[in-house]
A and B are shown apart, each in its own frame.
Chain A
Amino acid sequence: MHTHNHPINCIVPPYMLEDIATKGTKSQRELAIRTLKTSEQMRGQRRALADFSGAVSRFAAVGGKERIVYDAQNGSSLPGTPVRNEGDGPTSDVTVNEAYDGSGATYDLFNDIYNRNSIDAKGMRLDSTVHYKKGYDNAFWDGEQMVYGDGDENLPVSERLFNRFTIAIDIIGHELTHGVTQFEAKLVYSQQPGALNESMSDVFGSLVKQRTLNQRADEADWIIGAGLLTENVNGIGIRTMKAPGTAYDDPVLGKDPQPGHMKDYVNTVSDNGGVHINSGIPNRAFYVTAMELGGYAWEKAGQIWYVTLRDKLGANSKFQDCANLTYLTASELYGNGSLEQKAVKKGWAEVGLTVDGSTPPPTTEPGDGCLSSLLRLIGAAPEK
């Protein structure tokens, strides 16, 4: 389950802590000093882990959106050479610009709509590496950063199946959401928890795209990875949240294997237990919920899913848990018996899952956020 951070080891910048450490009351000073020490240690460890040579760790608390795009120059060492920093203008490399703009749009969705300051909720810098390896037809999140290949760029044009992986903004949102999940629900990357992890990445990846295009739920295409497949492939994208299993059907790549209903759940040892396959089921549940609610999907449906990911889901949560917990979240946010709660119920029913409203309430305590911690520290809020 979701665990809270050390009381003030969140968005409070070090300079403010230093101020408290010198000017506060005795107990305030002690707490501030302890936090400063912990932060320093964490920064040190993380820097060592990342083998990062710069002076400032990507985890250091910063004011807001902070991005760096690196170029691996077709090699495999990460992160590579920095080519665009926050605030720099566009470069002549479209891949670099897509990684920059896409990570910015993802930051904005989480920040503006869900009030979340970056991936770790503490202003973590968003690092992307493009041009990873040669002929690398993949993108991934390595636990600290996004990594993108160029597809089949090393094959003759007539044989290429994949374009560059930054081509679709939802892929960028997908990778960064893996980071959010890593800091929140920590869903294990296997079987149903892994498929939920994948689905969360598709949900928020698609929402990044919809918000960028200013599309309402019924205007969106709900396709993941549109434009990634070349014209040599018979397909519209990699997955579709609206109609799982119909994204591509091609003599070389085969057919989209995603189910859109529990009766078609795929049991397999491949793909970490089918995490990219069975994600079609929760993906469609989200789509149906968003369509039921109408309007912009990131507003209500997205909010329900986000709060569930942040506060309710745990490392081993399964589809049924997600159904029950989104239903519970909808009741907490919009009221018991609300239209929003009914929409969630319908979304899961469409994929063969009946919500069970008897799920015990979450174990996390409300109101234990960074602001209340800081207020407690400076004596403006009561001690717990």
Chain B
Amino acid sequence: MYIDKIKFERTGGFAGIRLAAEVDMDDIPEDQKREIIRLIDETDFDELPKKLSGKMPMPDEFVYSITVNSRGKEHAVLAGESSLPNNLQPLIEVLERIAKIQMRKQD
């Protein structure tokens, strides 16, 4: 799918320290852009419910929020670590990596 922008937030965890990123697809390297689009396509992101909560949250698990903006339309998905489908895991890993780099650049 075509993507303009992705907003990512990780909250909770034992430390409760927020990790966040805003990824403008025009601002990232072409190969990373292709990887992210592929990972999002693999999850049928548009079809995912707004809140994935199959199980009771595990104490101290991370809580993820991913918002994809495509041609002015936004779809946001909220999921705890224990209710995260396997095919979302690689996307989370990429977004966490980007978020950690962005946080360090803010200093």
Contacts and interface: CB of A to CB of B under 8 A. Distances in A.
B99 to A, nearest CB: 11
A228 B18 CA distance: 16
Interface stretch (B29-37, B40-48, B57-65, B66-74): B57-65
Interface stretch (A4-12, A42-50, A89-97, A136-144): A136-144
A333 interface: no
Contacts of A197: 59
A271 B60 CA distance: 9
B54 to A, nearest CB: 14
B18 A276 contact: no
A363 interface: no
Interface residues on A, range: 35 or more
B14 interface: yes
B15 A225 contact: yes
B16 A276 contact: yes
A251 interface: yes
A196 interface: no
Nearest to B78: A269
B83 interface: no
B15 A138 contact: yes
Contact of A225 (B14, B58, B62, B82): B14
B7 to A, nearest CB: 13
Contacts of B9: 270
Given A178-B60, A252-B107, A271 B16 contact: yes
A225 B60 CA distance: 14
Contacts of A142: 58, 82
Given A139-B60, A189-B59, A276-B16, A270 B11 contact: yes
B11 A254 contact: no
Nearest to B103: A252
A278 B57 CA distance: 18
A159 interface: yes
B56 interface: yes
A82 B62 CA distance: 26
Contacts of A276: 12-16
Contacts of B106: 251-252
B60 A138 contact: yes
B105 to A, nearest CB: 9
Interface in A168-202: 171, 174-175, 178, 181-182, 189-190, 197-198, 201
A269 B58 CA distance: 17
A272 interface: yes
Contacts of B14: 138-140, 165, 171, 174-175, 225, 238, 276
A271 B82 contact: no
Interface of B: 9, 11-18, 56-63, 65, 78, 80-82, 100, 103-104, 106-107
29 contacts: A137-B15, A138-B14, A138-B60, A138-B62, A139-B14, A140-B58, A140-B60, A140-B81, A143-B58, A165-B14, A175-B14, A189-B56, A197-B59, A198-B59, A238-B15, A252-B107, A253-B103, A254-B18, A257-B16, A257-B18, A270-B9, A270-B18, A271-B11, A271-B12, A272-B57, A275-B16, A276-B12, A276-B13, A276-B15
